[in-house]
Amino acid sequence: MKRENLDFLEAEQIDKVMALYGKAMAKKDSEIDTLKSEKKGLEDRVETYETKIKEFDEKAKDNAEWKTKYEELQTSISEQEAKQKAKEEDDILTKNITSVFGDKKFVNDFTKNAIMNEIKTALKDSANMGKSAKDLFEEITNGKDGIFENPNKVVDMPSVDETVENVVSKADFDKMGYKERLELKASNPELFNKYNN
């Protein structure tokens, strides 16, 4: 993999990127540990079932009732293993798709989950063979409104009728930092003096 020259980045930017990378890796490690723990629990359960199967096998070779229970247990184990495998695959796919979202913020979880499910369905479709999750994400969201939060949040501005005193209360003044108090002193010295006493 070719390394990009990062000389244009300032040390502070590099530190921030590395800190974000460290957090992301720690989160991934935590998720991997959780999956390993779940896998260990399932392996223990499978081992328990296998022990039971061996016990049934020894006692029930000629007994039709035990043979039926044995087959049911084998079916149950196979179903559980298939469900666990499907869950692990779905978890991996979900993490991969989530990483494609990047820093985009959806308007709500319902929209996010709908897009994720649409991408999962599209990945299984043979018509999309060779397309990545990123390609499908861009196809699905391209040109559509109402999917992502507006990065330009509307700021609630005071109306012309509101005075500075109505905008800045004593409680607000008490929470202000040094810089904010200096700005208030410069813009409205009377109000500053009123609250500063």
pLDDT in tens, 65-114: 777 888 899 999 999 999 999 899 888 888 888 888 888 888 888 888 88
Pairwise pLDDT comparison (101 vs 1), residue with the higher score: 101
> Given this model, what pLDDT does residue 169 score?
84
**Per-residue confidence band for 151, with pLDDT thresholds at 50, 70 and 90:** low
Query: Alpha carbon 75 to chain centroid distance?
Result: 34
Q: Is the pLDDT assigned to residue 134 strictly greater than 80?
A: yes
What is residue 49's predicted lDDT score, i.e. its pLDDT? 87
* Confidence check: pLDDT of 6 > 70: no
And the tokens for 156?
Answer: 């609630």
| Helix or strand (DSSP H, E) at 48 | helix 11-59
pLDDT at 54 > cutoff 70? yes
Cα separation, 66 vs 64, in Å, equals: 5
Q: Are 135 and 167 in contact (CB under 8 A)?
A: no
Return the pLDDT at 155. Answer: 55
CA-based nearest residue to 38, from 94, 98, 80: 80
Write down the pLDDT at residue 161. Answer: 44
Q: Return the residue matching tokens 């979900």.
A: 94
158 close to 131: Cβ distance less than 8 angstroms: no
Residue 179 has pLDDT above 60, yes or no: yes
Domain ranges within the chain, ordered by starting residue: 9-101, 102-151, 164-196
Distance between CA atoms of 56 and 70, rounded to whole angstroms?
6
Q: What is the mean pLDDT of the chain?
A: 81
Gyration radius from the chain CA atoms: 30
Token digits for 149? 């939060």
